[in-house]
């Protein structure tokens, strides 16, 4: 039987490692729970799996664990920050909290962040806003990294460019978390290291031939991840990628047109208070009807029932909180060197 852990034990362990590596305690208290939250929701490549890279970043100076963002512009309903390479998870959480506050005054609040650290799992942030009765849109890209080619091309030009939306309902919120590409750097890297294949032709080699082998991404020159829609309908993902690049890098004022600065993120988020529009009650009435209608839709052959985005995440989290969180095999191995260095004991499985 696989080892399971209490989520609070994992949060305390990862938080202690961050503090030992130089992160402010108040920042660690936000970052560690959000990484564990990703694993609770089932996003195993963008939660605890990111902790070793964050710890290395704190040690080599590529990510900062102290300080505050610089305010580039503030017009009340629109704000731009220079994140100064501070932890992107912390920056994004603080930005969402500020946007919620501003949305109650202005109806909507939009924040763009440049020079943010990597922000991990977008879905993990969404309930922060939906619990306040707000709708949230969140997107990120990395101006210094390329792994996805434009539709019809063979040279990498973008990152997978995730975008997430949280929509309140009378029950669990709808939590949409997708990318402009079919898959992510995290998953392809994991499968490559394990010698495994992808479920379908989600990548292409350097000649533009579709493949299910992530190894084509590690050649010289490398192949690329395909946009949503693949070889046939990839213009859809390409268009979404262009929009996310403009929202994250264009609005923040720093992106691919500038010299690369290392692994990180450009971030865009918008929080909307439905009360400033048709009213919160009417908003919830409409979104709840939509959710019920979709879940009640007759399932196709081989499908047990129609699920909404986020349904699996809530089910995974409930099961993990009840029985313990089953971690992806080897997930804590990447933290062992840091545990030994800082003399911090790993949590014991249940």
Query: The CATH number of the domain where 325 resides is what?
Result: 1.10.1530.10
Q: Which of 83, 99, 84, 92 is nearest to 123 (CA)?
A: 92
Which CATH number goes with the domain that contains 138?
3.30.1370.60
| Same domain? 25 vs 101 | no
- Examine the domain organization and report whether 3 and 75 are in the same domain: no
Reported as a single tens digit per residue, the pLDDT across 30-80 is: 999 999 999 999 999 999 999 999 999 999 999 999 999 999 999 999 999
Do 130 and 113 belong to one domain?
A: yes
Mark whether 45 and 145 lie in a shared domain.
no
pLDDT above 80 for 349 = yes
Residue 32, domain extent: 1-66+310-350
Whether residue 156 is found in the same domain as residue 296: yes
Phi and psi at residue 173, in whole multiples of 5°? -70, 160
- How far apart, in whole angstroms, are the C-alpha atoms of residue 30 and residue 45? 19
Which of 235, 220, 269, 207 lies closest to 83 in space, CA to CA? 269
- Global pTM reads 0.96
- What percent of the chain shows pLDDT beyond 70? 99
Q: From the CB of residue 274, how many other CB atoms can be counted at a distance below 10 Å?
A: 21
Look at residue 98 and tell me whether its pLDDT is greater than 90.
Answer: yes
- The pLDDT of residue 3 is 86
User: Tell me: the pLDDT tens digits for 169-214?
Assistant: 999 999 999 999 999 999 999 999 999 999 999 999 999 999 999 9
Q: Please indicate, yes or no, whether residues 88 and 52 belong to a single structural domain of this protein.
A: no
Is 213 a domain residue? Answer: no
Residues 222-237: pLDDT tens digits?
999 999 999 999 999 9
Position 10 in a domain: yes
Query: Are residues 291 and 327 part of one domain?
Result: no
Tell me whether residue 263 is in a domain.
Answer: yes
Whether 207 maps to a domain, the answer reads no
d(CA 245, CA 240): 9
- In a shared domain, residues 272 and 155: yes
How many distinct structural domains can be found in the chain? Answer: 2
Q: What is the DSSP letter of 131?
A: T
pLDDT tens digits along 308-342: 999 999 999 999 999 999 999 999 999 999 999 99
Contacts (Cβ under 8 Å, ≥6 apart) of 195: none
Same-domain check for residues 125 and 142: yes
Is 73 contained in some domain? Answer: yes
268 shares its domain with 153: yes
- 90 and 58 in one domain? no
Residues 35 and 99 in one domain: no
């Amino acid at each position: 039987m696989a080892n399971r852990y209490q989520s609070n034990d994992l949060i305390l362990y990862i938080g202690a490692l961050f503090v030992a590596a130089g992160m402010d305690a108040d920042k660690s208290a936000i970052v560690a729970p959000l990484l564990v939250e990703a694993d609770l929701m089932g996003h195993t490549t963008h939660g605890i799996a990111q902790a070793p890279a964050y710890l290395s970043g704190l040690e080599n100076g590529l990510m900062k664990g102290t300080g505050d963002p610089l305010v580039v512009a503030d017009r009340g309903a629109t704000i731009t920050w220079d994140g100064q390479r501070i932890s992107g998870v912390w920056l994004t959480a603080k930005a969402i909290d500020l946007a919620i506050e501003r949305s109650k005054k202005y109806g909507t609040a939009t924040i763009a962040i440049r020079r943010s650290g990597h922000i991990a799992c977008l879905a993990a942030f969404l309930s922060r806003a939906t619990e306040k009765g707000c709708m949230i849109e969140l997107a990120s890209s990395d101006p210094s990294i390329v792994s996805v080619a434009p539709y019809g091309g063979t040279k990498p030009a973008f990152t997978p460019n995730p975008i997430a939306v949280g929509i309140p309902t009378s029950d669990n919120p709808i939590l949409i978390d997708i990318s402009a590409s079919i898959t992510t750097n995290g998953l392809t890297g994991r499968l490559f290291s394990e010698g495994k294949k992808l479920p379908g032709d989600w990548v292409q080699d350097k000649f533009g031939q579709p493949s299910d082998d992530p190894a084509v991404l590690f050649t010289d020159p490398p192949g690329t991840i395909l946009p949503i829609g693949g070889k046939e309908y990839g213009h859809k993902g390409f268009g979404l990628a262009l929009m996310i690049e403009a929202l994250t890098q264009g609005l923040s004022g720093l992106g691919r047109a500038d010299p690369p600065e290392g692994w990180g993120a450009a971030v865009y988020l918008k929080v909307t208070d439905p009360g400033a529009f048709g009213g919160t009650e009417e908003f919830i009435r409409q979104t709840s009807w939509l959710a019920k209608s979709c879940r009640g839709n007759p399932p196709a052959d081989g499908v047990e029932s129609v699920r909404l985005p986020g349904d699996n995440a809530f089910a995974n989290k409930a099961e993990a909180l009840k029985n313990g969180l089953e971690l992806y095999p080897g997930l804590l191995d990447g933290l062992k060197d840091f545990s030994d260095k800082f003399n911090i004991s790993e949590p014991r499985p249940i």
